[in-house]
A and B are shown apart, each in its own frame.
Chain A
Amino acid sequence: MAAEVSPIELERLTKYYGPHRGVEELTLSARRGEVLGFLGPNGSGKTTAIRVLMGFLRPTSGRARVLDYDAGRQSVEIRRRVGYLPGEVALYGQRTGEELLAFALRTRGMARAPRAAEVAGALQAQMDRPIKKCSRGMRQKVALVLTLAHDPEVLILDEPTSGLDPLAQRALLDILDQEGKRGKTVFFSSHVLSEAEQICDRVAILREGRLIALDSVEKLRERKYKQVTVVYDGAPPDLEGLGDIQIVWRHEDRVTFRVKGDVNALLARLRDHPIADLTITEPSLEEVFLDYYREAAP
């Protein structure tokens, strides 16, 4: 049986703008039904990779495929099957959302938009107002309706929550989560890590155009450290020779350790002294992200 084709596939993708780096040797793939977060600070290459996938940019080397179509040569086929939201939404100001939707459907050869009403309702998008009279957040909502209206197989979204109020952000994350559960592939870039943490099956972390991590949020956390906070029953002992275990904070009877990997070694050391309370917390994605960045720093 033939192996299932990845809805999104980047293979050693490199893009330079003259001497300036966009992305370098970027390899990753998204699975069907997966919500894949594409994380990195501004200038890390997220938008470049997305624009190559959509056929806006020609790769310097490597390849990009969406639903097994080559992003450079078959971008029209890709865009027929994909919902794309650009990083900075710009729509024709004199048109209403409804007019733009009708136009988008005509270019797709569709008579009706299967999901437009549902998405517009969930996001409370005003589709009957001229775009020039809409706030930035409302324009983003209209653009999201246009992106999702035709029920695409793959969603490629560049900073989709940008400009949205917290309620709309929540509604959008719920929609994207549902899209993943419906078997759609969602590939979205963000630098708001809590968003990715909430809905992503996996996250890819980009730094200076290179992929530095790609895994589930849980696995990334596991591979990183845990934070163990101990409240001693009395003064804490001298804790020397803990190896990989770091003391990150110490105050009166309370000590916080940072443990990489197995916590049993620390727990064994803690048994020698009476303990009033102990909590083990996993790092947030933000902490993991920052840690990756510190590690990767030259």
Chain B
Amino acid sequence: MKTLAWELLSRTRVGLIWWLVGILAMGVYVVAVYDSIGSLEDLRRLYESYPPAIRKLVGEVDISTLNGWLHVEFMSWMPLLLAIYAGIFAASNVSREIEQRTIDFLLGLPVSRAEFVISRLAAGLANIATMCACIFVLLVVAVALAGHTPAADRYALALANAFLLTAALFAGYTLIATITDEQGRVTGITLGATLVMYVATAALKAAEAPDLVRWLMPFEHYHAAEAMSGEGLPVLPQLVLAAAAVMAGAAAVYWYNRRDIAI
């Protein structure tokens, strides 16, 4: 299993670096422009004038503070960006193996189907964790270089939440990829589902839908706003995300074990 995961990590290294370059550039830009904002009070009023649905989706923060600004302009986008990466990763490294027929080479070796799926899950999670770790380092360094005091504990909590959310989504996308053999279709389904869930989270919040319904939306469990405001992270949503990741991962292994690998 370790051999498979290492091989995949090595093959996806270049893609990961380019994703990181993009996200880090975005982070540097967000940190850099904070000091150039003329009136923080105007900024706060502007944010408060946003529709409640958007404010609820992003989180109730004081955008005039650095941490509030970082949350609204950077952290609130993070799960969306990471989820897109997760969908592409699942499509490229699970469905594509059958579509491109490289699965015959892999499963011609003494490798079980469970090892195959778990290696994909492990490599994907390792890449997502690497991204979160790099983003953390970037924020600490960029904020310090900009002459402010980094709130490392807050960044760490927000990114831990982003990681757990992406892990749950990634496991779900991997399950979809074990069912569907076409890379393009899986990419479309996962990206579409990500956007729908993101928007639906806002809509359900705005409509003040019952808690049970809102809890079905993965993005509902993203509490970076609280983490960045210094309120800490609620524990239950993290447990829900971790449980969802384990269940979806187990379902992916179970399904892949049962299905035919027909080409």
> Which A positions have Cβ atoms within 8 angstroms of B?
17, 51, 54-58, 75-77, 79-80, 84-86, 88-92, 94, 100, 103-104, 106-108, 143, 146-147
Contacts and interface: CB of A to CB of B under 8 A. Distances in A.
Contacts of A107: 3-4, 109-111
A150 B148 CA distance: 60
Contacts of A89: 105
Given A51-B262, A56-B262, A86 B108 contact: yes
B104 A76 contact: no
12 contacts: A17-B260, A51-B263, A54-B107, A56-B260, A58-B258, A79-B107, A86-B263, A88-B101, A88-B104, A88-B263, A94-B11, A106-B3
Interface string B220-262: 0000000000000000000000000000000000000010111
A85 B104 CA distance: 8
Given A51-B261, A103-B3, A86 B109 contact: no
B14 to A, nearest CB: 9
B105 A86 contact: yes
Given A90-B104, A91-B105, A108 B110 contact: yes
Interface string B41-58: 000000000000000000
B4 A17 contact: no
Q: Which of B4, B11, B104, B261 has the most CB of A within 10 A?
A: B104
Given A92-B11, A107-B111, A57 B104 contact: no
B7 interface: yes
B223 to A, nearest CB: 40
A253 to B, nearest CB: 56
A240 B222 CA distance: 93
A79 B11 contact: no
Contacts of B108: 54, 79, 84-86, 147
Contacts of B100: 90
A161 to B, nearest CB: 17
Contacts of A91: 102, 105
Interface string B182-201: 00000000000000000000
B104 A104 contact: no
Contact of B105 (A51, A76, A90, A108): A90
Contacts of B261: 51, 56-57
Contacts of A84: 104, 108
Given A51-B263, A58-B260, 11 more contacts: A55-B107, A77-B110, A79-B108, A80-B110, A86-B101, A88-B101, A88-B104, A107-B3, A107-B4, A107-B109, A143-B105
Contacts of A55: 107
Nearest to B109: A107
Nearest to B106: A107
B89 to A, nearest CB: 16
Nearest to A84: B108
B193 to A, nearest CB: 27
Nearest to B102: A90
B112 interface: yes
Contacts of B258: 58
Contacts of A104: 109
Q: Which 3 A-B pairs have the closest CB atoms?
A: A90-B101, A86-B104, A80-B110
